[in-house]
Homo-oligomer: A and B are copies of this chain.
Amino acid sequence: MQKIMVIEDDTAIQEELALLLENEGYTPLVVTNFTDILGQAVLERPDLILLDIGLPRRDGFSLCAALRKAVSAPIIFVTSRDAGVDEVRALSLGGDDYITKPYSVPVLLARIKAVLRRSSGEPEPADTLEAGGLRLSLTKGVVSANGKTAELTRNELQILACLMAHTGQIVSRADLIDALWDNQIYIDDNTLSVNMTRLRGKLTEIGLPDAIKTRRGMGYQL
């Protein structure tokens, strides 16, 4: 059950929203004490915050900034149409969303659903490359394909990363050597071949025996 924090000064709208959200299967969390919004937010750790920008006493924007720092929940801004929409949009660029009053109920619900899905969807591994049925996690040093995975050593990782960064294109041996041993000229050209063999071996283990093609005289290609 996901908690949604409602920050809204009009009590009529408060209740309406609370009811609506509850009917939709969320747990509404209506803020009544506006002097310590932050504290409540930290305490309750809501999954989403519905923030009316036109609050009394406090500038909605600074509140927003503070909320962002305090909790990781996405924020949907509610604003009246005539307010500075551009600014709100700027604020909301962070994956959140905004909606102008008066809003229609289905739209609001759709927004909530979208934002929740986006944010709950796990953190999006920040450093993976994907290409041709291969997934390469650079931080973990692991390739996976067909459900199988294999651990790579440093060199193998670099080679594969380099190839995947230029998927489909021919990457010359020279480029690969540069990428691996930047400018160590006296590295035996053959060393690359050896590493290539090992990498291919691991790719074969996970079911992709011919993932890396060699283009004689030119280089390698995914």
Residues of A that sit less than 8 Å from B by CB: 65, 68-69, 72, 86-87, 89-91, 93-96, 98-100, 103-107, 109-110, 113, 123-124, 126-127, 129, 138-141, 151, 153-154, 157-158, 161-162, 164-166, 168-170, 179, 215-218, 221
Q: A100 touching B126 by the CB < 8 A rule?
A: yes
Q: Could you pull out 24 A-B pairs where Cβ atoms are within 8 angstroms?
A: A65-B90, A68-B90, A69-B87, A89-B94, A89-B95, A90-B95, A91-B93, A91-B94, A100-B126, A104-B127, A106-B129, A106-B161, A106-B162, A106-B165, A107-B127, A107-B138, A110-B164, A139-B166, A139-B168, A140-B169, A140-B170, A141-B170, A141-B218, A153-B216
- Our pick among B72, B94, B100, B158 for the contact of A93 (Cβ within 8 Å) is B94
Q: Say yes or no: B93 contacts A110, CB within 8 Å.
A: no
Identical subunits present: 2
CB contacts (< 8 Å) of A68 on chain B: these are 87, 90, 93
Which residue, A65, A113, A158, A165, has most C-beta atoms of chain B within 10 A?
A165
Assuming the contacts A107-B161, A110-B129, A221-B140, asked whether A69 and B90 have C-beta atoms less than 8 A apart, the reply is yes
Known: A93-B91, A93-B94, A218-B141. A113 touches B165 (CB 8 A): yes
Assuming the contacts A106-B179, A140-B169, A218-B154, asked whether A95 and B93 have C-beta atoms less than 8 A apart, the reply is yes
